[in-house]
Structure 1
């Protein structure tokens, strides 16, 4: 296993451990067991638990945005809307991991910068995609971000058909792009 792929495996394992048991379940041993390596390797790669958590959050955000197409260029309004929908449907562990950290940041101020990174990253990705579609509307960016955040959280807690909400978001994006 190369160093880069080893780090990625450890970050994925961290996401799985936290998604399943919360931050309280996060230990070097739990991550190592999930990744199938020795716990000393986790410490070697990340040093501290806080560094592991920070890098896992960055990894989760990047993976989530990449998988949803939010980082792609030259999307049509329909492709952008599909990316929004895929974000609510894919990678439940990554989404659970992020929400675990967001909730824990209420109790642990040292995690607050990770919560801010989470919100900033998604908001900026949505804003960039809207801008590429010719839409320069900060309020629409906020509406889409808040709606998306709610849809993803709802899907994690109590999966149900969110098609009507996603259909409305798609219509808003297409209307704004056409008007822009």
Structure 2
């Protein structure tokens, strides 16, 4: 009986520990998004309402904490894209519940702007993820196949993030700490033209593609 009670107590303690760890990680994501990756452990602890020692207890170092934040943001981004490509109604449902994605968006932006090895690795992982979910969408008949799937994934990620940087540079009145406004302004300006562009393309026919394929010689087949 005492062994069973001990096991229940230990399980409850483990669950509490995991919950605390997730709460600290989420506070760190918000802090890194709001202030950049130069934010100190003390600043993160203050945002979470805990001591800096508790963060060190759970993560050991700021670098380990950031690595876990990267994993969480990348997983949220992958899930967002995968679910959005599952059906048009799922994508529209995401728009209706989009407030929570503002932090993710700014965190991604900070990672790109930082330009450090960790930031570059983060972007490369975004591209790897984009390749995986776009190829699944091709298999599901949602996206057209590409002659260069990896190149297309890289272009989609770099264009979308680069477009965000340009958009925000044109609106210096928007603070990156105002996650909801960043998200709302982004959706307001790019949602319709982006969906339209991905749906219909731009050129009226394949003339430019045909000429380019002749120019490079021995082009890969579509979807190869």
Give the TM-score normalised by structure 1. Answer: 0.72
Alpha-carbon distance, 1:85 to partner: 6.4
Higher relative contact order (CA 8 A, sep 6+): 1
Note if 1:165 corresponds to 2:193: yes
Q: 1:40 aligns with which of 42, 46, 53?
A: 53
Tell me: CA distance 1:17–1:28, structure 2 relative to 1, closer, same or farther (3 Å): same
Note if 1:75 corresponds to 2:89: no
Q: Secondary structure at the match of 2:189?
A: coil
Alpha-carbon distance, 1:126 to partner: 3.0
Q: Aligned residue for 1:177? A: none
Note if 1:121 corresponds to 2:134: no
Tell me: CA distance 1:32–1:20, structure 2 relative to 1, closer, same or farther (3 Å): same
Note if 1:95 corresponds to 2:105: yes
**8 Å contact 1:81–1:169 — kept in the other structure?**
no
Alpha-carbon distance, 1:72 to partner: 3.8
Tell me: CA distance 1:152–1:85, structure 2 relative to 1, closer, same or farther (3 Å): farther
C-alpha distance in 1, partners of 2:166/2:111?
17
Q: 1:109 aligns with which of 111, 117, 129?
A: 117
C-alpha distance in 2, partners of 1:92/1:129?
25
**8 Å contact 1:88–1:151 — kept in the other structure?**
no
Give the TM-score normalised by structure 2. Answer: 0.60
Alpha-carbon distance, 1:7 to partner: 1.5
Note if 1:13 corresponds to 2:27: yes
| Structure number with bigger Rg | 2
**8 Å contact 1:11–1:52 — kept in the other structure?**
yes
C-alpha distance in 2, partners of 1:79/1:5?
32
Q: Aligned residue for 1:149? A: 161
> Aligned pair count?
168
Note if 1:29 corresponds to 2:42: yes
**8 Å contact 1:87–1:152 — kept in the other structure?**
no
